[in-house]
Amino acid sequence: MRAGCVLLDRDGVINEDADSYILSVAAFQPIAGSLEAIARLTAAGIPVAVCTNQSALARGMLTNDCLAAIHRHLQTAVSDAGGALAGIFFCPHGPGEGCHCRKPAPGLIHQALHQLDCRAEDTILIGDSQRDIDAAARAGVSAWLVRTGNGQRTEAQQTGDVPVYDDLAAAVETLLS
């Protein structure tokens, strides 16, 4: 499949995940090869965006300013690796708020598709959780799973035919080959 757009979950796909959330720039640690993988997509002319749940905002553990600093750091790290992010879309709500943007709801994906002018049938969401896979299905985009983050646990529970890759770099290698 040749992708028109690639959407990435953040924690566990681009950066190491943490049980207690990523609450600072210092806690943001890229997974080996992830920034270079984004750069490869950029070089191939494929728009890349991030779609991430950030319930630490709703829980009062993270401020909007701190999240903005983390995302600026991410943008800079991607740029330094030679890539670009076309957007970072995040849900600030907690699990019980009933919003339409928190994955597995498709709202973040719909927002990204609209703002990036991408077609669902030409888009791949790469994630590490069942929420990512379900959100992709609800939005009509293809889902790919990586084993980083929560991916190994998610893979063990899979019953469908979602492609699985060791990490973002391996997924991008397949996509571009």
Please, what sign has the CA dihedral across residues 11, 17, 18, 23?
negative
**Residues in a beta bridge with 143:** 125
Q: Which residues have a catalytic role annotated?
A: 9, 11
Binding-site positions? 9, 11, 91, 93, 99, 101, 128
Q: For 12, left (φ over 0), alpha (ψ -120 to 50), or beta?
A: left
Supply φ then ψ for residue 125, to 5 degrees: -105, 125
Tokens 């740029």 belong to: 79
Which residues does the annotation place in the binding site for Zn(2+)?
A: 91, 93, 99, 101
Give the relative orientation of helices 64-80 and 34-43 as an angle to the nearest 10 degrees.
70
Instruction: Please state the residue numbers annotated as binding site for Mg(2+).
Output: 9, 11, 128
Spatial distance between the Cα atoms of 13 and 47, rounded to a whole number of angstroms: 17
